Amino acid sequence: MVYSSSSLALAAIELFVHLEPNQQPDDLVSIAALLPEGEPALRLEPDKLPSGWWTDDVEPLRNVGDQWIRDTASLAIEVPSAALRIEWNVLVNPLHPKIADLKIETPQPFHFDARMFR
């Protein structure tokens, strides 16, 4: 599964919540991707997720994700962010038949603002 976010800001927050101040990577890049025309992402609303989906108990969510990957019903699925529950992450299924149609942009250097680590 390819884990991405609906915006660069959300992707940064998703990574930041897992970093210790001394772990700030110096070789990060951002990579934008576009779904193929006619391949919209499905949206998995919070009420369809296991209770407590935002906690550290990832096993129930892993089961949902594993089933989605096996079904190959969509190339991508939008899921709510645990870090910012009003925002959406986008999971991409590398086993989907249209994965080769995903348009991947050139990687761009990315750096956190040093003030985030104070």
Neighbours of 101 (CB within 10 A): 14
The list of the chain residues with pLDDT below 70 reads none
User: What is residue 25's predicted lDDT score, i.e. its pLDDT?
Assistant: 83
User: What is residue 22's predicted lDDT score, i.e. its pLDDT?
Assistant: 75
DSSP helix/strand/coil, 102: coil
* Cα gap 13→16, rounded to integer Å: 5
Total domain count, the chain: 1
What is the pTM (predicted TM-score) of this model?
A: 0.87
User: What is residue 20's predicted lDDT score, i.e. its pLDDT?
Assistant: 81
89 within 8 A of 5, measured Cβ to Cβ: yes
User: What is residue 11's predicted lDDT score, i.e. its pLDDT?
Assistant: 95
Domain that holds residue 56: 2-117
